[in-house]
Structure 1
Amino acid sequence: MAGKQEDPGMATELERHVGLLSGIFLIMGTMIGSGIFISPKGVLEGAGSVGMALIVWMACGVVVTLAALCYAELGTMIPKSGGEHSYLMHAFGKMDKCFGPIPAFLFDWVGLFIIRPTMFAIMTLSLGTYAIKPFYLNCTPPETAIKAVSLSAILVIAFINGYCVKLATYIQNICTVVKLIAIAILTVGGIVKIIQGNNEYIEDGFEDTESDVSLIAIAFYNGLWAFDGWNNLNFVTEELQNPGRNLPISIMVGIPVTTVCYVLANIGYLGVMSKTEIIMSHAVAVTWGQRMLGMAAFSMPIFVAISCFGAANGCLFASGRLCFAAAREGHFPQVFSYISLNRKTPLPSIILTALIGACLIIPGDLSTLIDFFSFSAWIAYGFTVLSLLVLRRTEPKTERPYRVPTVVAIFVVITSVYLVLAPIIHYPRVEFLYAALFIAGGLFVYFPFVYYKQCRLPLDPYIDWVTIKIQKALLVIP
């Protein structure tokens, strides 16, 4: 490959610009996106009652915290960027030259083409929807306008992340503060209404609680979607200052605080809206704003749009590092492991991830993308935590600055299996079949192009030519 002929003296590396506060804000800022402003509807539908819905929100926070603590052990033990890719490669890659790298490659395959760009596309579509909502308060915004705004946001976010790591983290911090202000407005407004005596909605308690376990699983799916992004800090470990300390602290602060914010926001909704009204609303926060803010109701869609912008920014920031790490291992063309000489950002991988996300936006809709994402994501999460249990057996003496109890890892694996199977059993959809076929299809790419490399040899001269052109155009080096 062209990159391998470079002078070693020209090599560069990612810089550690992400501190503890930025780490906490990256976790919180990516989790608090559109979910808390949309998901209350889905959680209530699955849970059946107000009381059970609040329990589901708290339980989702517990599940995500436990999963993130497992990732904290992996991240401090294997301090590499790339998240799941690095952990699966470390756990299984050494076992067998042929089959060992397959779990990591399949995650790269699914992560690069489904999980990460789909998550990015969902956030930018939500951003587009809320950004133009103030101009269409009394009607549904046109789909073309939503997608035009979403694609414009992708261009802006990609530029920010490619230009400077400090700028991306600075914007992330600002957006996170704005999100917390929005949630504070929801919470305070709802609690004031409850104090004034408008407590009939929250007094319903556990009335009409759903008894079907599979429906409660759907409620968990909607709640966990609002928490997704909890693992994003693991993708940028090489840019995190003192990861052995800051990674677990960021997780133990960021996720519980987010959980408290989500529960308080739901109490705020219930102080103003009934269970039925929340379920009927397509944008709960906007409906709440119209009830409570009067002439200032237009501000709530703006708050949500800023929240989605911050979440999408954090998502692309982390997703680019997955592509970077996978290319560094030879799972994708080497040029995607190159770094901007001047900016110290993985520019080619950021551009590729943004392009795939943009391609998903054009034909996609939110509900289909969320189903496609959730099924694939929890397969990856469960298998990654399983790699932690494997490493406990294969590398018991390796230093672990942070160690999670084994029972926690077992619980997370079992939970992930449940979350993958329950929706399929309850409501099988063709999207699940497509996702499974796409995952299996990765094997038809792995063996000829990654392991044997025979099919790739005739393409090498063209790949080298493209690599050189990209290096010159973007000024990137190994």
Structure 2
Amino acid sequence: MTLLTVVIAISLVTGLYLLVNVSYLTVMTPTELMSSNAVAVTWGNKVLGSWGWIMSVAAALSAFGSLNGTFFGGSRMCFVAAREGHMPEILAMAHVHRLTPSPALIFTTIISLVVLIPGDFQSIVNYFRLRNQSFPGRTPLVPIILPILVLIAAIFLVLAPIIDSPQIEYLYVALFIFSGVIVYVPFIHYKLCPGLLTKLTVFLQLLLKVALAEKNL
């Protein structure tokens, strides 16, 4: 039943995406597609006329649904990472009555707001365009030359856009990556815990009414 559900869902979504793209190409010219800031809105204005605003509402609802799932999923990732000792202990706590990881939710919200500060979609994309796809858990047995070639290609793909068109966002990404090393070595590897951090954890614990969870949420 689960396999059938997955097959039907993937087929349905794929078919809908194909129909949407066909409708775009049928109604709009390539020039209009390239110059449009919001293709769905342009399509709606041409096809629906005065009802074109419906496309904006539909896009907003779709983005809200995606944001809702990402918000809850991202906060749970921080929650689990904190339970494993990779993030501050306060993020591994949950509300004593509602059983929600509110510190992780608040932390995710703050990070999201910081990323939104530039106010430019392209700038936001630049922060995450260097993200690598993860390999499967099982390491394949291949000649050593292949990993070397993949490493060289990966280094080229990372450095090429930086050299060709350097942007301030790349510096922020580098600082973000190295900040992880700076935090990991003293606080995770050597398990240092300053008294100020302990006091801050206790203060936030009392303020947010949270405690360490005994099971996954």
Q: Trace 1:210-221 onto structure 2 (pairs within 5 A).
A: none
For the aligned residues, what is the CA RMSD?
3.3
Residue 474 in 1 paired to residue 209 in 2?
yes
SS at match of 1:326: helix
> Residues of 2 paired with 1:362 and 1:449: CA distance?
28
Residue 448 in 1 paired to residue 186 in 2?
yes
Residue 389 in 1 paired to residue 138 in 2?
yes
Which structure 1 residue ranges, 5 or more long, are not aligned? 1-19, 21-244, 394-405
Identity of aligned residues (%): 36
> Residues of 2 paired with 1:432 and 1:468: CA distance?
36
> Residues of 1 paired with 2:8 and 2:169: CA distance?
35
Q: TM-score, length-normalised on structure 1? A: 0.38
Give the conservation status (yes or no) of the 8 Å contact 1:347–1:476: no
Match of 2:81 in 1: 326
Offset from partner CA, 1:92-150 (integer Å, 9 cap, x none): xxxxxxxxxxxxxxxxxxxxxxxxxxxxxxxxxxxxxxxxxxxxxxxxxxxxxxxxxxx
Residue 353 in 1 paired to residue 90 in 2?
no
Q: Trace 1:338-349 onto structure 2 (pairs within 5 A).
A: 338-349=93-104
Match of 1:271 in 2: 26
1:315 to 70, 88, 92: 70
Match of 1:296 in 2: 51
State the 1:303 CA deviation. Answer: 0.7
> Residues of 1 paired with 2:57 and 2:201: CA distance?
46
> Residues of 2 paired with 1:420 and 1:253: CA distance?
38
1:435 to 173, 193, 209: 173
> Residues of 2 paired with 1:419 and 1:270: CA distance?
31
> Residues of 2 paired with 1:325 and 1:358: CA distance?
22
Q: TM-score, length-normalised on structure 2? A: 0.78
**1:263 and 1:339, CA in 2 relative to 1: closer, same or farther beyond 3 A?**
same
State the 1:326 CA deviation. Answer: 1.1
State the 1:477 CA deviation. Answer: 3.8
1:462 to 195, 199, 203: 199
State the 1:350 CA deviation. Answer: 1.1
**1:464 and 1:304, CA in 2 relative to 1: closer, same or farther beyond 3 A?**
closer
> Residues of 2 paired with 1:255 and 1:432: CA distance?
35
SS at match of 2:27: coil
Q: Trace 1:98-109 onto structure 2 (pairs within 5 A).
A: none
SS at match of 1:385: coil
State the 1:465 CA deviation. Answer: 2.4
Q: Which amino acid is 2:121 matched to?
A: L
**1:420 and 1:389, CA in 2 relative to 1: closer, same or farther beyond 3 A?**
farther
> Residues of 1 paired with 2:38 and 2:61: CA distance?
15
**1:452 and 1:256, CA in 2 relative to 1: closer, same or farther beyond 3 A?**
farther
State the 1:255 CA deviation. Answer: 5.3
State the 1:464 CA deviation. Answer: 4.1
Give the conservation status (yes or no) of the 8 Å contact 1:269–1:288: yes
Q: Which one has more relative contact order, counting CA pairs under 8 Å at least 6 apart?
A: 1
State the 1:313 CA deviation. Answer: 0.6
State the 1:264 CA deviation. Answer: 2.3
Q: Which amino acid is 1:389 matched to?
A: R
Give the conservation status (yes or no) of the 8 Å contact 2:118–2:124: no
> Residues of 1 paired with 2:11 and 2:178: CA distance?
36
> Residues of 2 paired with 1:444 and 1:347: CA distance?
26
> Residues of 1 paired with 2:170 and 2:15: CA distance?
32
> Residues of 2 paired with 1:437 and 1:256: CA distance?
42
> Residues of 1 paired with 2:75 and 2:186: CA distance?
25
Q: Which amino acid is 2:188 matched to?
A: V
Offset from partner CA, 1:379-407 (integer Å, 9 cap, x none): xx2xx316x134x78xxxxxxxxxxxx9x
Residue 281 in 1 paired to residue 16 in 2?
no
